[in-house]
Amino acid sequence: MSKWKLIILGPAAVGLMGCALQRPPSPLIPQKSIIGITVWTQSKPRRPGIENEYVYFVRMDDISEPFTQESIIKSNYYRDGQAYLVNAEPGHYAAVASRSYSRSTYPLSKYQPGKTNTTLFPKELIKEMDIMVAPGSVVFMGSYIINQSPGLRRADEAQLHYAKLVAPIDQFFARAGALGAYPYKVLTAIFLWQGRCCYKGKSRQVQKTKFAETRFLTVALRHFDGTEWVDVIQERLDELTAAY
């Protein structure tokens, strides 16, 4: 078995102000792995989901404390709705937030170059995303569709904690709830207009099956074409095929 493998999470992504990173980071580092994930967020049931270009992870020395880690790691490769953390250190990981970029659809959109939406994951979803990354291993975390609502009013402790690390500028949401419902809605509308907002996330759909992993890895082969990671991905695909 090759010592190189890949770690994959579900629906998530990586981008830079709306521009995806089109080539995987290199070089391949011995005993490191890849985490891959797909994350879609949805503000209303009948609206189409939005691909999230960035996913934020925590690496945990103590797996009993997934909600209070003090450092985050941002995914570093994104294509076609799939986000990756390439050359990840071995250890326990969980995803805690994601970020999307989109063009404004408001009438005065010429004054808004784009929208940055950060979604903070709730405690129950962070627990579900927990994975173990062995040296040179391949892991599939899952594919996620997450409902979101603007602001951090009534957010749980994990969402409030990681908002400080992922979106410190928007942290006023964590305190503005004390002003009352109407002032809070006004402040939220202002930040939405500025194209910058924190959202509370709530899991709606999760896919962590072998079929979902196979589909994800099949696409990943194209994303990593021409790199040393291709053999790692193919080896994991062969393992999954043999298990059917």
pLDDT band with cut points at 50, 70 and 90 for residue 153: confident
Residue 179: inside a domain: no
The region, left, alpha or beta by phi > 0 then psi within -120 to 50, assigned to residue 239 is alpha
Residue 96: inside a domain: yes
How far apart, in whole angstroms, are the C-alpha atoms of residue 147 and residue 44? Answer: 7
> Is the preceding peptide bond at 27 cis, omega within 30 degrees of 0?
yes
Residue 162: inside a domain: no
Most confident of 14-28, 36-50, 56-70: 56-70
Q: Which domain holds residue 79?
A: 15-148+202-243
Residue 8: inside a domain: no
pLDDT band with cut points at 50, 70 and 90 for residue 167: confident
Q: What number is the average pLDDT over the span 203-226?
A: 93
- pTM, entire model: 0.80
Residue 107: inside a domain: yes
Residue 163: inside a domain: no
Q: What number is the average pLDDT over the span 158-167?
A: 89
Query: What are the backbone angles phi and psi of residue 6, rounded to the nearest 5°?
Result: -130, 140
Instruction: Supply 178's token pair.
Output: 């004390």
pLDDT band with cut points at 50, 70 and 90 for residue 64: confident
Question: What's the structural domain count of the chain?
Answer: 1
Residue 67: inside a domain: yes
